[in-house]
């Protein structure tokens, strides 16, 4: 046995002994703990095998909300199941799941029946599922997170699309969301002019933020329905209703002042008929 082989062998034995001491070693397959697994066992074992991956999971959006078992199940060999859209939409439901399901990618995945046994690598699938983009190439953070910068998104999308097309689509999405941001900013300015304050139209402001999120989901998932029908026109409707609510409240607030202004003259006018009657 070479020096390298000897070192690897001792590392293997050491790992097996640590698993055995924890009561989770499998005598038939010492390289894999006995099934089923607990979350604690997953983290302990994979912290030895791939500490960087575990650290990435801890720091990512799932670290505090979803454990290994929630996505992968409690047995080995569950990678194909964890790659399917169903593994994600069980938690990411509502507008997130629906905007993707109605996107070009979502439709292609649904009718194309991808082979989820294939790794989530560049160009491996005909159409990307949730995990292909967000957990690309074993990324346990979020490859599509804006903090990663556009280069990561361009790389993921570039596995299937030409670089110029990718840049055009990303630029179009940024312009679309920028317009939506301006509409929400305008909505906040209009709400601030309400006589009772912006809290009086909080429900309408909440609606604008919901539809802004729809625009972002539509741009990210390439869903025309969420870019437009559930997004930009819905925001326009919010603005119309908001302006109307503020205008009506402003008119109503001005009515009492006009009545008070007219009331002093009402005294003499109403007294005149009584004086004539006394005569």
pLDDT at 124: 83
Region 144-163: mean pLDDT is 87
* Burial class of residue 197, CB neighbours in 10 A (0-12, 13-18, 19+): exposed
Provide the mean pLDDT of the chain.
Answer: 80
pLDDT at 126: 83
pLDDT at 223 over 90: yes
Write 55-59 long-range contacts (CB < 8 A, 24+).
Answer: 56/139, 56/140, 56/141, 57/140, 57/141, 59/141
pLDDT at 12: 36
pLDDT at 194: 96
Could you tell me what percent of the chain has a pLDDT over 90? Answer: 38
pLDDT at 265 over 80: no
Fill in the DSSP letter of residue 37: P
Q: CA separation (Å) from 91 to 71, 77, 85, 97?
A: 10, 22, 11, 9
pLDDT at 276 over 70: no
pLDDT at 182: 97
pLDDT tens digits along 173-218:
999 999 999 999 999 999 999 999 999 999 999 999 999 999 999 9
pLDDT tens digits along 87-106:
888 888 899 999 999 999 99
Distance CA 172, CA 251 (A): 41
pLDDT at 264: 52
Model confidence at 233, in pLDDT bands (50, 70, 90)?
Answer: very high
pLDDT at 4 over 80: no
pLDDT at 266 over 60: no
pLDDT, greater one: 223 or 59: 223
């Amino acid at each position: 046995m070479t020096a390298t082989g000897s070192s690897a062998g001792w590392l293997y034995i050491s790992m097996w002994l640590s698993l055995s001491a924890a009561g989770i070693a499998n005598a038939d397959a010492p390289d894999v703990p006995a099934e089923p697994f607990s979350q604690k066992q997953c983290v302990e074992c994979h912290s030895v095998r791939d500490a960087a991956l575990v650290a990435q999971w801890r720091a990512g959006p799932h670290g505090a909300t979803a454990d290994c078992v929630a996505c992968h199940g409690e047995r080995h060999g569950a990678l194909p199941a964890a790659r399917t859209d169903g593994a994600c939409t069980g938690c990411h439901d509502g507008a997130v799941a629906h905007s993707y399901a109605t996107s070009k990618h979502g439709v292609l995945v649904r009718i194309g029946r991808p082979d989820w046994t294939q790794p989530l690598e560049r160009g491996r699938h005909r159409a990307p599922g949730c995990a292909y983009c967000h957990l690309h190439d074993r990324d346990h953070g979020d490859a599509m997170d804006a903090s990663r910068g556009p280069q990561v998104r361009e790389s993921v999308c570039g596995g299937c699309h030409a670089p110029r097309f990718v840049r055009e689509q990303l630029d179009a999405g940024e312009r679309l969301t920028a317009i939506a941001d301006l509409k929400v900013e305008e909505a906040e300015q209009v709400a601030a002019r309400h006589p009772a304050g912006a809290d009086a139209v909080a429900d309408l402001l909440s609606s604008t933020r919901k539809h802004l999120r729809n625009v972002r989901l539509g741009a990210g998932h390439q869903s025309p329905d969420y870019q437009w029908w559930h997004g930009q026109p819905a925001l326009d409707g919010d603005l119309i209703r908001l302006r109307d609510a503020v205008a009506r409240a402003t008119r109503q607030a001005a009515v009492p002042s006009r009545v008070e202004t007219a009331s002093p003259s009402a005294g003499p006018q109403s007294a005149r008929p009584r004086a004539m009657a006394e005569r």
